Structure 1
Amino acid sequence: MQTPQTPQAPRAPRAPRAPHWTIGDITVHRIDETPLPPATGPWLLPGATSDVVARQDWLHPDFADHEGTLRLDSHSFALTLGTLRVLVDTGIGNGKTRANPAWHGLRTDYLQRLTDAGFPPDTVDLVVLTHLHTDHVGWNTREADGAWVPTFPNARYLVSRTEREFWAAQSMDEPRRQMFRDSVLPVEDAGLLDLLDIAQEGTDIAPGLRLTPAPGHTPGHLAVQLSSRGETAVITGDAIHHPVQLPHPHLSSCADTDPRRAEASRRALLASLAGTGTLLLGTHFPHPTAGRVTAHEGTYRLAPVPPAHPAPRQ
């Protein structure tokens, strides 16, 4: 698969306080890694043409520019459930050899941002991986003395058993094998990766934390449900890449392993959230990143909910 030939993303400035949202007693922090270059949108969502995007005026200026170019980011979400410290997805990572020039050899302040938000790597208890794609597992490991070692040595890394077994059975190309060598296998070799059997209705990991199946982008893709004091939130992973997919749920990603199943998962998720007040947190959504799903003319829109202490647009 061809990736967009774009310059390496610039080193991102450090944000002293992470943008965050409150769901009952849970505070969810957005840990920024890097904005993705403009070429990402046409590559990732080829059906989201400038004309399609321009017809959704509510996408401007935050989610797309006025020429119809989508804005996308790479970030993680960090949260605390009681004494449990949780990180959802780990981005692209630093210093990794990648086929996509925008992901290759990054040098960002991600770990410092995570620490500034109150989550030093050795204090993280759980790392939830929505799926095993390159831009969601990169900070699973860091380089130390020429080797890739787990970044979060005291954490359990959680992934769907379906997801891991799918990739184990695949004849992967070299870029994907490289990703597994530097970002998945070292975690397995350290005995830190837990394979979970996820029930159709979801599986509770801890009070207030449920993992639910959202297959299609990959066979074992997960969404993350949070609940506290009657309030709820859902972290999308790549079940929804961009808010343009709310009015156009049929828009598929070039990286979907099963586009029809991905669309069915997306439609089911949006239908379950519309009008409920549940906060939707997009793993690749640019600022303001979160919002509430509302029904509109037979499809959906996102009513943005800005974070507290928002970081400036990069």
Structure 2
Amino acid sequence: MDTDFERITLGGIEILKVVEVRGPFGPPADLFPGIDDVWQAHEKWLAPDFQDPDSGQVLAAVQAWVVRSEGRTIVVDPGVGNGRERPGTPHFSGFDTDFLDRLARAGVRPEDVDVVVNTHIHGDHVGWNTRDENGSWVPTFPRATYLIPRADHDYFGPDGAARTAHDNHRFLFADSIAPVVATGQAVLWEDSHRIDAHLTLEPAPGHTPGSSVLRLTAGTDRAVFVGDLLHSPAQFVAPTCSSAMCVDPTESAASRVRVLQRAADENELVIPAHFPGPGAAEIRREGGGFSVSRWRG
């Protein structure tokens, strides 16, 4: 099987994981402040899929999810993109991957994509919104509507609070957000946004002001694409532990607990953005947190 893309089918809706890059992303203590004890207690099952047994670093993936629903093709969180300048995250700078070729091998050409969902505005979720064409950034998906949380657009935009915090924010807005706004392809949504009868975007703030989740309902099947509410399955065990990348760790924790409680109670498949190996999980409540009852994808 080609491990660059894997399929899940829920109620007749196809979900396809397309990997851009996977590998070690840093020590647990750097990425998840305060999680050391939990991490050490669960190392046996975190390795080798979610922790490198040799270096001890957290293993993660940057990947997009493709959803085919009601005859349309939807791309969720299209990765880092090629040729980006990211001084604050040099491991994302100057990428030159064959991601679009991987999409093509999975049967998805840029012109086939109807909707692009950015669950939030971070460089590893919006990069392939655009591509370099003769020195200019243009939409990668020429027919697509790009769904972007307004709260994030305003926070990371030219007049937003994030502009002075990090050069990355200025660069990523300029190369990955502004071009799709300029072409009129962006929809800046608030409160919630229904894509079709099966798919709805809902706010889950904290990681960024506009962080969101995408809910899927198809017959008796349920799923929730949680973006960066989780970066590691260790956060199932310790759901109040937010990542070092969260703008508001307390609000992020509240969103995470709320979303995971509903997922456990309503049997929603949890689909995070960055899990390598098994990319989705069925969960149940256990103690003060959650445990995985079954891995999918």
**TM-score, normalised by the number of residues in structure 1:** 0.87
Using the TM superposition, give the Cα deviation of residue 192 of structure 1 relative to its aligned residue in structure 2, in angstroms: 0.9
Using the TM superposition, give the Cα deviation of residue 42 of structure 1 relative to its aligned residue in structure 2, in angstroms: 4.2
Residue matched to 1:185: 178
Could you list the per-position Cα deviations for residues 220-279 of structure 1 after superposition, in whole angstroms to 9, with x for gaps in the alignment?
Answer: 111011111210111110111211111111211122111110000001011111153321
SS, match of residue 131 in structure 1: coil
* CA contact 1:74–1:284 (8 Å) conserved in 2: yes
Using the TM superposition, give the Cα deviation of residue 40 of structure 1 relative to its aligned residue in structure 2, in angstroms: 6.3
Identity of aligned residues (%): 36
1:102 is aligned to 2:91: yes
The letter of the residue matching 1:25 is: G
SS, match of residue 127 in structure 2: helix
1:260 corresponds to which of 250, 256, 259: 250
The letter of the residue matching 2:74 is: V
Cα distance change of structure 1 residues 16 and 60 upon mapping to structure 2, 3 Å threshold: closer
* CA contact 1:17–1:116 (8 Å) conserved in 2: no
1:88 is aligned to 2:96: no
Using the TM superposition, give the Cα deviation of residue 108 of structure 1 relative to its aligned residue in structure 2, in angstroms: 1.1
* CA contact 1:95–1:107 (8 Å) conserved in 2: yes
Using the TM superposition, give the Cα deviation of residue 183 of structure 1 relative to its aligned residue in structure 2, in angstroms: 0.9
The root-mean-square deviation of aligned C-alpha atoms, in Å, is 1.9
**Separation in structure 2 between the aligned mates of residue 298 and residue 132 of structure 1, nearest angstrom:** 30
**Separation in structure 2 between the aligned mates of residue 91 and residue 72 of structure 1, nearest angstrom:** 13
Cα distance change of structure 1 residues 167 and 175 upon mapping to structure 2, 3 Å threshold: closer
Cα distance change of structure 1 residues 197 and 105 upon mapping to structure 2, 3 Å threshold: same
Residue matched to 1:149: 138
Residue matched to 1:25: 12
1:115 is aligned to 2:101: no
User: Which segments of 5 or more consecutive residues in structure 1 lack a partner in the other structure?
Assistant: 1-13, 308-314
* CA contact 2:28–2:39 (8 Å) conserved in 1: no
**Separation in structure 2 between the aligned mates of residue 259 and residue 214 of structure 1, nearest angstrom:** 12
* CA contact 1:16–1:113 (8 Å) conserved in 2: no
Matches within 5 A, 1:218-229: 218-229=208-219
* CA contact 1:92–1:135 (8 Å) conserved in 2: yes
How many corresponding residue pairs?
A: 290
SS, match of residue 59 in structure 2: coil
Using the TM superposition, give the Cα deviation of residue 16 of structure 1 relative to its aligned residue in structure 2, in angstroms: 7.7
SS, match of residue 84 in structure 2: coil
**Separation in structure 1 between the aligned mates of residue 145 and residue 27 of structure 2, nearest angstrom:** 31
* CA contact 2:8–2:15 (8 Å) conserved in 1: yes
2:285 corresponds to which of 275, 295, 299: 295
**Separation in structure 1 between the aligned mates of residue 28 and residue 170 of structure 2, nearest angstrom:** 25
Name the one with the larger helix percent: 2
Residue matched to 1:282: 272
Using the TM superposition, give the Cα deviation of residue 66 of structure 1 relative to its aligned residue in structure 2, in angstroms: 4.0
